[in-house]
């Protein structure tokens, strides 16, 4: 397992940001209003959210440098939702400018950190700047796939999938123990319940399923006591904000 640290995370953030930038260049004006992979959201909604979360993380670091904390989104979750809905219908040029500016600002803030800066406390999940950086990595990577432009979960790296296994252990219902068996890789166990379910398939398909996304390669299979079973229902996405709808990142 590859552990993502304060030393290795900046490179991952830049890779994820580069993927988003490349996808923006593949879009035309009409594609902004087309459906994304997220129910009820157009690609414009996804782009507005990407700009919003990047700005939010940059703001977390701005206040952390001053030894202060501030809520993740200006106006809380209500403010987040309002901002996404207002910006979703923007033109491609507007989205490109807002996403690029926000992501560049966040990357610059993370790049400027010294070793102590990664451990400063922020309000996001009552955690550290490192937690905020990992969150931005998840958001950039997962929502790039949500744009539905040929960069789906099958492109996620092994290190990202393994990070999701750790982060999304919170989605395992208490009565279950998931024995993840990614093809060609060591097994992982999530949860500690009394009922074991083996989840077999490509590592990217397992990670996509845990993240509430459609597996791209169709390799998933669930078994319990050697019998095939349906994939179990998952608990909500671990919310980063107390009132956040928790089913999606």
Q: Is the pLDDT of residue 248 over 60?
A: no
Confidence category of residue 119, pLDDT binned at 50, 70, 90? very high
| CATH superfamily, region 9-151 | dinb family like domain (1.20.120.450)
Q: What is the pLDDT at residue 210?
A: 98
- Rounded average pLDDT over 215-224: 92
Would you state the structure tokens that stand for residue 138, as one six-digit string?
């998840």
Q: Residue 244 above 60 pLDDT?
A: no
Classify domain 159-229 by CATH number: 3.30.1050
DSSP 189: E
What pLDDT score does 153 carry? 97
**pLDDT(52) > 60:** yes
199 φ, ψ to 5°? -115, 115
Could you give the CA distance from residue 112 to residue 234 in angstroms, rounded to a whole number? 38
Share of the chain above pLDDT 90, in %: 90
CB 54 within 8 A of CB 101: no
| pLDDT at residue 186 tops 80 | yes
Whether the pLDDT of residue 3 is over 90: the answer is: no
Model confidence over 121-171: pLDDT tens digits?
999 999 999 999 999 999 999 999 999 999 999 999 999 999 999 999 999
Mean pLDDT, rounded, of the chain: 94
Q: Which long-range contacts (CB under 8 A, 24 or more apart) does 162-165 make?
A: 162/1, 162/2, 162/188, 162/203, 163/4, 163/134, 163/137, 163/138, 164/138, 164/207, 164/210, 164/211, 165/190, 165/206, 165/207, 165/210
Residue pointed to by tokens 């890779």: 15
pLDDT of residue 175 exceeding 60, the answer is yes
Domain positions in the chain: 9-151, 159-229
- What H or E segment, with its residue span, contains residue 177? strand 176-182
pLDDT at 242: 52
214 DSSP 8-state letter: -
pLDDT of res. 61: 98
Closest-CA residue to 14 (of 150, 140, 142, 143): 140
Does residue 240 have a pLDDT over 80? no
pTM: 0.94
Is a pLDDT exceeding 80 seen at residue 218?
yes
Percentage of the chain exceeding pLDDT 70? 96
Whether 159-229 and 9-151 are alike in CATH topology: the answer is: no
């Amino acid at each position: 397992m590859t552990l993502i640290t304060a030393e290795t995370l900046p490179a991952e953030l830049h890779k994820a940001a580069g993927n988003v930038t490349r996808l923006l260049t593949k879009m035309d004006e009409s594609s902004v209003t087309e459906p994304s992979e997220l129910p009820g959201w157009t690609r414009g909604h996804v782009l507005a959210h990407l700009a919003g979360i990047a700005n939010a993380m940059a703001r977390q670091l701005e206040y952390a440098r001053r030894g202060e904390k501030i809520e993740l989104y200006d106006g809380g979750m209500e403010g987040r939702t309002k901002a996404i809905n207002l910006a979703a219908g923007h033109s491609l040029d507007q989205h490109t400018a807002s996403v690029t500016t926000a992501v560049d600002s966040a990357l610059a803030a993370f790049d400027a950190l010294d070793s102590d800066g990664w451990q400063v406390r922020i309000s996001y999940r009552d955690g550290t700047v490192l937690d905020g950086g990992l969150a931005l990595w998840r958001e950039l990577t997962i929502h790039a796939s949500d744009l539905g432009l040929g960069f789906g979960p099958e492109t996620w790296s092994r290190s990202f999938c393994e990070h999701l296994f750790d982060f999304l252990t919170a989605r395992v219902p208490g009565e279950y123990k998931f024995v993840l068996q990614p093809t060609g890789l060591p097994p992982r166990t999530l949860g500690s319940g009394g009922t074991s379910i083996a989840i077999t398939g490509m590592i990217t398909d397992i990670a996509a399923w845990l993240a509430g996304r459609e597996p791209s390669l169709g390799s998933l299979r669930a078994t319990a006591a050697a019998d095939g079973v349906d994939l179990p229902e998952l608990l909500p996405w671990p919310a980063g904000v107390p009132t956040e709808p928790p089913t999606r990142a």
